[in-house]
Structure 1
Amino acid sequence: MSLRHKAFSAAFRVMAATGADRWGRGFAQGRGMILTLHHVRPWRETGFAPNRLLEITPDFLDLALGLIREEGYDLVSLDEALVRLGDVKPGRFFVALTFDDGYRDNLDHAWPVLAKHGVPWTLFVTPGFADRTARLWWLELEEAIRVLPRFSLDLPGGGFLARTETDREKQLAFATLYWRLRKEPEAILLSAISELTRQVGIDAAALVERECLPWETLRSLSGAPGVTIGAHTLSHPMLAKHPQDVARREIVESKARLEAELGLPIRHFAYPVGDPNSAGPREFGLAQEAGFASAVTTRPGHLFEPHARHLHALPRVSLNGHHQSEEAVRALLSGLPFLLWNRGRKVNVG
């Protein structure tokens, strides 16, 4: 766990000890919130797990949903969240659950917990993952560094050299290279990771096959009660890094492809990665033009009344694998961490 996440854990504990997670709700809590999840699966002991923040256990999901119910909050669909957000007279605080990418473990381990609590949920699907043509490049990077004892890459601005014999060295190399590549055009990022996977013989398509749901399962899932399918672009690019015509095609055609494959309207969209460097005002406008009722980012925050005028730039709250505790859930429900993170701004759409 990084120093940043250790600081968050400490802050959650302080909030719980001082009662800030309760008294802060009066001014920090919005009308509701949308949760972001990726993987849900049993804990796997491994020293090197740089993508651990993207996975939680079924037990933690069960704990989180139980706490939400215990607080008297409503667990609602994304469609219902939009209705409540636009209501002139606010009702009870609500929570909507969304899952990004379309992973197999969402069905194997998340769905039984969701069914137990009677919770509707939205699955944002990338057709390229169902086709096995898009790349889980962050997982490719993890798997390559896991195998390599050392490596070097030629990159713009100078080469990258790392010794990766121990878990600590692997973690440092992953974090350093990940954020360096995130600053580059996506073509450079993908090319660099392809070079590493080539060195160790990793099959990128096989990783997607292992992790992501196939079309036949998605077709069956799309008609299930309480399940909403949303779009997550064709190939999972960081849209803001690409020309407008590319971004528009990724957004528009992901909707069309899913509707053709699943035979139902696709009303909601999630921006891949979803931070300000991956989705901004241009992308918000493109999602609206494409006819989506809403589009969600990963900008952290609760939903406030003004968000009803920015339905294609909605914030979400991550259930993070580094913070699987009751203190963390109560802090997230309070809204206080996001008011501090956003420096008092309730709406951040710039």
Structure 2
Amino acid sequence: MSSDNRWLRTARLELAYFSGGTWLVSRTTAGAGAVLRFERVRPRRKGAFQPLKHAEITPVFLDKMIRALKRWGYDIVALDEACERAVRLAEDRRFACLTFDGAWKDLITHAYPVLARHGVPFTVYVASAFPDGLGEAWWLALEAVIARESRISLVIDHREQRFSVARPAEKYELFAYLWAWLRKLPPAERSIAIRDLCSRHSVDLVALSREAAMDWADIAQLAADPNVTIGSATVHYPVLAHLKDAEAQREIAMGKAVLETALRRPVRHMA
């Protein structure tokens, strides 16, 4: 298997996901190791409406998790080594591989100090449009609009729709409905829809997206650390299954090419 496609080997691993209150690694059923997937790492927030909380852990939790893995005898390894171990005969010591999707700003501000203090390797997957200032974090914009408004209007399937969401339960219900609808739209249509929603309710989509994402200086800082692997998360972070083959291939190829140009090194992994 070529190095460009080595990331496909991770499908052979036992996959595990850590959240703030969930621990899914079983010591009795674990295989060679586990790839642990994270998104946001930041201090706990206040507020009754937090529909994206499932994608967050706190720096304190990250620290405790790393300490637990070391205490339990796991080898915390880089993604290259995880791919190699996944196809070798089982070893006495299992491994854990830490990955972070999206290259969000809180990785550099909240997670990186914890990871550097422990001296553990990790992988961050970058969607290249975001450090370029062109990415649209539509899910964050949707959360921001619903959090602050009690009446929301937008166009769905060419019809004006209006929603009253005064209570948290109503806000969660509307978020789930609109998130599912937006996620299935082609990228160009989703961009039009979220821009219209933000314009109607005075949310600055561009500023919100830029504030949430790392810039190229942040990524260069991480790339200079030998414990950090930079992988690609395409260009715009789309749901590839919802794209035509040619569009999906273009997202994959361009995301890799942009990263390799910026970092001046091969990018061997994609998520």
TM-score by length of structure 2 reads 0.85
Question: Within 5 A, what are the aligned runs for 1:171-182?
Answer: 171-182=172-183
- SS of the residue aligned with 1:127? coil
The 1:21/1:88 distance shift into structure 2, 3 A limit, reads closer
Map of 1:31 onto structure 2: 32
Q: Does the alignment pair 1:248 with 2:249?
A: yes
Measured in 2, the distance between the counterparts of 1:65 and 1:163 equals 43
Map of 1:47 onto structure 2: 48
Measured in 2, the distance between the counterparts of 1:55 and 1:225 equals 26
Q: Does the alignment pair 1:218 with 2:219?
A: yes
Map of 1:120 onto structure 2: 121
Q: Once the 2 structures are TM-superposed, how far is the Cα of residue 117 of structure 1 from its aligned partner?
A: 2.1
Question: Within 5 A, what are the aligned runs for 1:1-350?
Answer: 21=26, 25=28, 28-156=29-157, 160-270=161-271
C-alpha RMSD of matched pairs (Å): 2.3
What amino acid is aligned across from residue 168 of structure 1 in structure 2? A
Asked whether the 8 Å contact 2:183–2:239 carries over to 1, the reply is no
- SS of the residue aligned with 1:154? strand
Asked whether the 8 Å contact 1:186–1:241 carries over to 2, the reply is no
Higher relative contact order (CA 8 A, sep 6+): 1
Asked whether the 8 Å contact 2:259–2:267 carries over to 1, the reply is yes
Deviations 1:220-241 (A, max 9, x none): 3212120111001011111121
Deviations 1:202-245 (A, max 9, x none): 22221122111111221232121201110010111111211211
Deviations 1:276-306 (A, max 9, x none): xxxxxxxxxxxxxxxxxxxxxxxxxxxxxxx
The 1:103/1:184 distance shift into structure 2, 3 A limit, reads closer
Deviations 1:121-152 (A, max 9, x none): 11101110001111111001001112221123
Q: Once the 2 structures are TM-superposed, how far is the Cα of residue 63 of structure 1 from its aligned partner?
A: 1.2
Asked whether the 8 Å contact 1:84–1:91 carries over to 2, the reply is no
List structure 1 segments (4+ residues) > 6 angstroms apart after TM superposition.
none
The 1:78/1:146 distance shift into structure 2, 3 A limit, reads same
Measured in 2, the distance between the counterparts of 1:196 and 1:12 equals 34
Q: Once the 2 structures are TM-superposed, how far is the Cα of residue 155 of structure 1 from its aligned partner?
A: 2.0
Measured in 1, the distance between the counterparts of 2:117 and 2:221 equals 20
Q: Once the 2 structures are TM-superposed, how far is the Cα of residue 157 of structure 1 from its aligned partner?
A: 9.2
Measured in 2, the distance between the counterparts of 1:127 and 1:140 equals 19
Q: Once the 2 structures are TM-superposed, how far is the Cα of residue 39 of structure 1 from its aligned partner?
A: 1.1
The 1:183/1:158 distance shift into structure 2, 3 A limit, reads farther
Deviations 1:249-282 (A, max 9, x none): 1101111111111111111101xxxxxxxxxxxx
Measured in 1, the distance between the counterparts of 2:62 and 2:32 equals 22
Map of 1:311 onto structure 2: none
Asked whether the 8 Å contact 1:41–1:105 carries over to 2, the reply is yes
Gaps of 5+ in 2: 1-18
Measured in 2, the distance between the counterparts of 1:88 and 1:210 equals 45
The 1:120/1:200 distance shift into structure 2, 3 A limit, reads same
Measured in 2, the distance between the counterparts of 1:160 and 1:92 equals 56
What amino acid is aligned across from residue 205 of structure 1 in structure 2? V
* Count of residue correspondences: 252
Deviations 1:28-77 (A, max 9, x none): 32211111111111111111111111111001111111111111111111
TM-score by length of structure 1 reads 0.67
Measured in 1, the distance between the counterparts of 2:90 and 2:207 equals 50
What amino acid is aligned across from residue 266 of structure 1 in structure 2? V
Measured in 2, the distance between the counterparts of 1:149 and 1:100 equals 32
Deviations 1:83-136 (A, max 9, x none): 111213434211101111111111111111112222101110111000111111
Q: Once the 2 structures are TM-superposed, how far is the Cα of residue 159 of structure 1 from its aligned partner?
A: 6.1
- SS of the residue aligned with 1:102? coil
Asked whether the 8 Å contact 1:58–1:109 carries over to 2, the reply is yes
